[in-house]
């Protein structure tokens, strides 16, 4: 028996998970996506005639997808080809200062010992234990909870648990907490970078974000056919379960009748009725009125200075030499504070950026690479001002020069003369994800309250739900997937209780 109609706006990872869960539960699900393919930020572009991942590249928290696929009667590893990485990432500060992090804590500790001395290796072990503690303390009451508040967290923890919450340092910045473990500024920079996984500055983000380090330590996988394969697999299983996908279908309004969600109006003018609507677009678009005035007040408007990081990305098929690239590589700037000041305080492209390079034809052993041109995603952080300040061609070119000059200084030559390259700027990201200014992770996690300020899946309008990286529990592929799961669960609970 079909239980009711649900419209999902957007086929990002959260929208796909919501669609799958609800189709499986017997709802009549229609997904409207303005792009031509599923995945949202998990997009693929062509470079030199080859598909390159232009969005997320680090795949973690595999258990989230094992559960989602398992519930749908599938084995995740049968649907999506995965390969675990033994070397998580290679980091460089100069031509001679290089450090690998491994899947094994002890191997990483040995590498850190050789790189920076035995005391830093001990500091790393203590840091890993603390990051695990933070993760375990927050997993149930925060990550898996539909919409936690400081009060619900404290009540949930009980008097004994309050000590645990205090211990995980919610009021200390990540940068300062890292100083408890590392004297070497390079290591502070390396582990501070985890704040950027949530689009935040390590100088303003709370120490609790060290849980990202634990998540990575639990395992990083490569999706062999590219991250986009995950979106395609979810779309295919949702379709098998009856969900219908419409591409090139932009939703212009969420319609309400008597204060209750009633359907959507598409750009084509068509109106599609449904008792429930899940919006997977960035929640800022709802708050900014892009889905109509009647639903706008359900999401507080995000100020520009609350936005998370945007990025300048170059997807390319190019010849490289000089540096033994592995899948994930980070080339650090010499002044981390200046980089984040440029972005968050001066709203400008960093004078000297830290550069991430994802070499998509490599795993963890450079010797296995056959040579020739290779697919790269080169990324530097940028301010989310894509709706107000379109960087001039000269500014973009200057940023590109600085980026590739830093790579060359640290040993990696990229031959851009024959490369097929696509540049994506904050303005481009804003066009792809409207009302964000190009912010890729919703609101920045700055200050201890930020994580509680993200909207939850349920809105004040009956029948209207939110899902995605800008919504609780936050950004990143697995977290956004969890938000899609939570929105679907909340919708089902609400419908059942209304029926009763």
Ligand X SMILES: Cc1cc2nc3c(=O)[nH]c(=O)nc-3n(C[C@H](O)[C@H](O)[C@H](O)COP(=O)(O)OP(=O)(O)OC[C@H]3O[C@@H](n4cnc5c(N)ncnc54)[C@H](O)[C@@H]3O)c2cc1C
Token reading at 93: 């500060």
Which of 107, 218, 240, 250 touches ligand X by CB under 6 A? 250
Number of residues forming the site for ligand X (CB under 6 A):
34
CA angle centred on 136, ends 135 and 139, rounded to 5°: 75
- 58 touching ligand X, by CB under 6 A: yes
Which of 19, 24, 30, 34 touches ligand X by CB under 6 A? 34
Which of 202, 386, 457, 468 touches ligand X by CB under 6 A? 468
β-strand partners of 260: 257
Q: How far is the CB of 321 from ligand X (least distance, A)?
A: 25
* Tokens 């100069």 found at: 94
Q: Which is nearer to ligand X, 154 or 422 (CB)?
A: 422
- 238 touching ligand X, by CB under 6 A: no
Longest dimension (CA), the chain: 68
Which of 6, 30, 33, 99 touches ligand X by CB under 6 A? 33
- 13 touching ligand X, by CB under 6 A: yes
By CB under 6 A, which span of 30-38, 76-84, 208-216, 394-402 interacts with ligand X? 30-38
Q: How far is the CB of 492 from ligand X (least distance, A)?
A: 19
Which of 23, 40, 410, 443 touches ligand X by CB under 6 A? 40
Which of 8, 469, 485, 486 touches ligand X by CB under 6 A? 469
- 41 touching ligand X, by CB under 6 A: yes
Taking the C-alpha atoms of residue 273 and residue 266, their distance in angstroms, rounded to an integer, is: 11
Token reading at 286: 């709802």
Q: Which of 102, 105, 110, 98 is nearest to 126 (CA)?
A: 105
* Sites for ligand X among residues 307-326 (CB under 6 A): 311, 313
Taking the C-alpha atoms of residue 465 and residue 272, their distance in angstroms, rounded to an integer, is: 17
Which of 134, 190, 476, 485 touches ligand X by CB under 6 A? 476
By CB under 6 A, which span of 86-94, 118-126, 211-219, 476-484 interacts with ligand X? 476-484
Taking the C-alpha atoms of residue 110 and residue 114, their distance in angstroms, rounded to an integer, is: 6
* Pattern 365-384, ligand X, x by CB under 6 A: --------------x-----
Which of 7, 9, 109, 450 touches ligand X by CB under 6 A? 9
Helix (H) or strand (E) holding 240: helix 228-240
Which of 57, 196, 385, 445 touches ligand X by CB under 6 A? 57
Q: Which is nearer to ligand X, 109 or 377 (CB)?
A: 377
Q: How far apart are the first and last CA of the chain?
A: 17
By CB under 6 A, which span of 55-63, 69-77, 128-136, 392-400 interacts with ligand X? 55-63
Taking the C-alpha atoms of residue 180 and residue 126, their distance in angstroms, rounded to an integer, is: 9
By CB under 6 A, which span of 80-88, 114-122, 204-212, 471-479 interacts with ligand X? 471-479
In angstroms, how far is CA 478 from the centroid of its own chain?
8
- 181 touching ligand X, by CB under 6 A: no
- 123 touching ligand X, by CB under 6 A: no
CB neighbour list of residue 317: distance below 8 Å, 6 or more residues apart: 47, 48, 49, 50, 52, 373, 374, 375, 376, 419, 420
- 220 touching ligand X, by CB under 6 A: no
Q: Residue 174: CA atoms inside 13 Å, Cβ hemisphere, count?
A: 31
Q: Are 438 and 386 in contact (CB under 8 A)?
A: yes
Q: How far is the CB of 161 from ligand X (least distance, A)?
A: 28
Q: How far is the CB of 186 from ligand X (least distance, A)?
A: 22
DSSP 390: P
Q: Which of 143, 200, 12 is nearest to 473 (CA)?
A: 143
- 11 touching ligand X, by CB under 6 A: yes
Q: Is the dihedral of CA 72, 468, 11, 251 positive or negative?
A: positive
Q: How far is CA 15 from CA 6, 33, 37, 417, 465, in A?
A: 12, 9, 13, 39, 11
Q: Which is nearer to ligand X, 250 or 420 (CB)?
A: 250
By CB under 6 A, which span of 51-59, 117-125, 207-215, 240-248 interacts with ligand X? 51-59
Taking the C-alpha atoms of residue 328 and residue 185, their distance in angstroms, rounded to an integer, is: 21
Which of 120, 375, 475, 490 touches ligand X by CB under 6 A? 475
In angstroms, how far is CA 22 from the centroid of its own chain?
23
Q: Are 26 and 243 in contact (CB under 8 A)?
A: no
- 47 touching ligand X, by CB under 6 A: no
Total residue length of the chain: 500
By CB under 6 A, which span of 100-108, 128-136, 177-185, 474-482 interacts with ligand X? 474-482
- Return residues touching ligand X (CB under 6 A): 9-15, 32-35, 40-42, 55-58, 250-251, 280-281, 311, 313, 379, 433, 440-441, 468-469, 475-477, 480
């Amino acid at each position: 028996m079909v239980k009711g109609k649900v419209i999902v706006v957007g086929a990002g990872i959260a929208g796909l998970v919501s669609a799958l869960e609800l189709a499986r539960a017997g709802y009549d699900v229609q997904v409207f996506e303005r792009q031509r393919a599923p995945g949202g930020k998990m997009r693929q572009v062509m470079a030199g005639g080859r598909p390159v991942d232009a969005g997320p590249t680090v795949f973690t928290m595999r258990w989230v997808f094992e559960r989602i696929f398992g519930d749908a009667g599938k084995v995740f590893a049968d649907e999506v080809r995965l390969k675990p990485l033994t070397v998580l990432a290679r980091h460089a500060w100069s031509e001679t200062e290089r450090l690998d992090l491994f899947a094994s804590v002890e191997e990483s500790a040995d590498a850190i010992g050789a790189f920076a001395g035995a005391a830093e290796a001990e500091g790393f072990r203590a840091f890993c234990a603390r990051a695990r503690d933070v993760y375990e303390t927050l997993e149930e009451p925060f990550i898996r909870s539909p919409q936690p508040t400081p009060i619900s967290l404290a009540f949930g923890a009980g008097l004994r648990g309050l000590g645990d919450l205090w211990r995980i340092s919610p009021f200390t910045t990540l940068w300062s907490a890292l100083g408890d473990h590392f004297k070497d500024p390079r290591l502070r920079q390396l582990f501070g970078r985890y704040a950027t996984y949530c689009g935040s500055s390590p100088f303003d983000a709370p120490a609790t974000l060290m849980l990202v380090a634990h998540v990575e330590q639990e395992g990083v996988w490569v999706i062999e056919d590219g991250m986009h394969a995950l979106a395609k697999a979810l779309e295919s299983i949702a379709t098998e379960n009856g969900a219908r996908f419409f591409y090139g279908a932009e939703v212009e309004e969420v319609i309400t009748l008597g204060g209750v969600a009633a359907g959507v109006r598409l750009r084509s003018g068509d109106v599609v009725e449904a008792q429930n609507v899940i919006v997977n677009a960035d929640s800022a678009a709802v708050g900014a009125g892009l889905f109509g005035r009647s639903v706008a007040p359900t999401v507080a408007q995000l100020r520009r200075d609350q936005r998370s990081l945007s990025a300048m990305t170059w997807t390319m098929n190019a010849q490289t030499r000089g540096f033994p690239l592995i899948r994930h590589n980070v080339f650090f700037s010499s002044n981390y504070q200046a980089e984040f000041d440029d972005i968050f305080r001066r709203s400008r492209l960093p004078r000297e950026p830290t550069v991430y390079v994802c070499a998509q034809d490599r795993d963890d052993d450079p010797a296995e690479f056959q040579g020739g041109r290779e697919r790269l995603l080169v990324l530097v952080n940028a301010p989310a001002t894509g709706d107000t300040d379109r960087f001039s061609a000269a500014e973009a070119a200057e940023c590109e020069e600085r980026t590739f000059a830093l790579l060359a200084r640290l040993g990696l030559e990229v031959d851009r003369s024959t490369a097929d390259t696509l540049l994506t700027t904050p303005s481009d990201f804003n066009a792809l994800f409207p009302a964000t200014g190009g912010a890729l992770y919703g609101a920045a996690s700055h200050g201890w309250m930020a994580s509680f300020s993200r909207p939850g899946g349920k809105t004040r309008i009956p029948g209207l739900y939110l899902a995605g990286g800008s919504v609780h529990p936050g950004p990143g592929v697995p977290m956004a997937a969890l938000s899609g799961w939570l929105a679907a669960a909340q919708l089902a609970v609400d419908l059942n209780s209304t029926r009763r």
